[in-house]
Amino acid sequence: MDFKDKRVLVTGGAVRIGKAICETLARQGATICIHYNRSYEPAVKLQDELIELGVDAHVAEANLMTETACNELMERAIALMGGVDILINNASVFNKQTMDEADMDCWLGELWPNFFAPVQLMRAFAAQGKPGKIVNLLDRRVTSLDTACVPYLVSKKALTDVTKMAAIHYAPRISVNGVAPGAVLPPPGEGMNYIKDYAGHIPLEVQVSPEDIAESVRFVLANDSLTGQIIYVDGGQHLSMGNGS
Ligand SMILES: NC(=O)c1ccc[n+]([C@@H]2O[C@H](COP(=O)([O-])OP(=O)(O)OC[C@H]3O[C@@H](n4cnc5c(N)ncnc54)[C@H](OP(=O)(O)O)[C@@H]3O)[C@@H](O)[C@H]2O)c1
């Protein structure tokens, strides 16, 4: 696939892994729409950086907690770029909440940005009625039963299954794949020691980087034969059994 004529919407694209994805796809020549919620300044800074690379880049704000916000984001991205060829569902929240700690507001606080929004964005993307590609950012813990972050993990497990269902449903027009990172960056506000302390055993003993994730997204998109795949980029950690450690 040639990225040069492709228009990409990356949710949560202003910072961290989303930023690395935007940079990697822009280096391939793609037009990028950087979605942000709170990170206005990083989004505009990244937009300038991508334009410096010689590609078109746009920013679009949305708080992805309602169906309307998701639809409006897709409409805005289509208006800015003349259409969207690739959707990267990267925006997410991560909270550690056990069964006892998570009330229904906590559940909805994880399920909306991590599951309902990607689902609605996929539907709005597909409603353009043309060929395209979707990559959903998952988590290596989807193969585990980590009881420390129950609503988060359920949101990512549900998105994993919907990724495969959507791959069947939208074929042959649209491919849908997942990239499941291991411990890449600590939650905002935590240092890298957080990863050492909580990441658990990593068989390859590597520190996965945002660039490793972005490169995997690029690989999945470049390969026209893939759909319904989940690519674990985690040094083999998803192979561990049990509670995710
Ligand atoms: N970091 C890791 O080690 C790791 C591990 C496993 C899986 N992952 C997955 O990989 C992806 C990227 O990880 P990350 O750590 O870079 O993500 P992140 O920093 O936790 O979140 C990415 C962006 O999501 C946006 N977001 C959050 N709530 C939103 C809302 N209500 N509406 C709209 N946007 C919202 C935020 O945008 P603004 O900043 O603009 O508000 C945030 O910067 C995520 O899907 C994550 O679950 C990451």
Q: Is the pLDDT of residue 240 over 90?
A: no
Residue 129 placed within a domain = yes
In a domain, 245, yes or no: no
Mean pLDDT calculated for residue range 176-205: 89
Q: State which residues form the domain around 73.
A: 3-239
- Residue 90: its H or E element: none
48 in active site: no
Residue nearest to atom 26 of ligand 1 (CA): 91
Domain total in the chain: 1
Ligand 1 binding pocket mutation candidate from 37, 139, 231 (most atoms within 8 A of CB): 37
Q: Is 139 a pocket residue for ligand 1 (Cβ < 6 Å)?
A: yes
Scanning the chain, the segments in alpha helix (DSSP H) are 16-27, 40-52, 67-81, 104-111, 117-126, 150-170, 193-198, 210-222
pLDDT interval class at 197 (50, 70, 90): confident
Instruction: Please check whether residue 70 lies inside any domain of the structure.
Output: yes
Burial class (CB in 10 A: 0-12, 13-18, 19+), 236: middle
- Ligand 1 lined by 185 (C-beta under 6 Å): yes
Residues 6+ apart with CB under 8 A from 39: 14, 15
Measured CA to CA, the distance from residue 133 to residue 176 in angstroms comes to 6
If you take atom 37 of ligand 1, which residue's CA is the nearest one?
12
Q: Is 147 domain-assigned?
A: yes
- Site to probe by mutation for ligand 1, drawn from 92, 115, 159, 192 as the one with most ligand atoms within 8 Å of Cβ, is 92
Side-chain half-sphere of 59: how many Cα atoms within 13 Å?
20
Q: What's the pLDDT tens digit per position in 90-111?
A: 999 999 999 999 999 999 999 9
Residue 214 falls inside a structural domain:
yes
Structural domain contains residue 244: no
Query: What CATH number is attached to the domain comprising 73?
Result: 3.40.50.720
Q: Please confirm, yes or no, whether 56 is among the known catalytic residues.
A: no
- The answer to whether the pTM exceeds 0.85 is yes
> Is 152 a residue of the active site?
yes
Rounded distance between C-alpha atoms, residue 115 and residue 118, angstroms? 5
pLDDT at 244 over 70: no
Nearest to 229 by CA among 89, 148, 149, 134: 134
Q: What does the alpha-carbon distance between residue 132 and residue 219 come to, in Å, rounded to a whole number?
A: 15
Q: Contact, 155 vs 110, CB < 8 A?
A: yes
Q: Of 36, 152, 170, 232, which is the active-site residue?
A: 152
Average of pLDDT values for 32-49?
Answer: 98
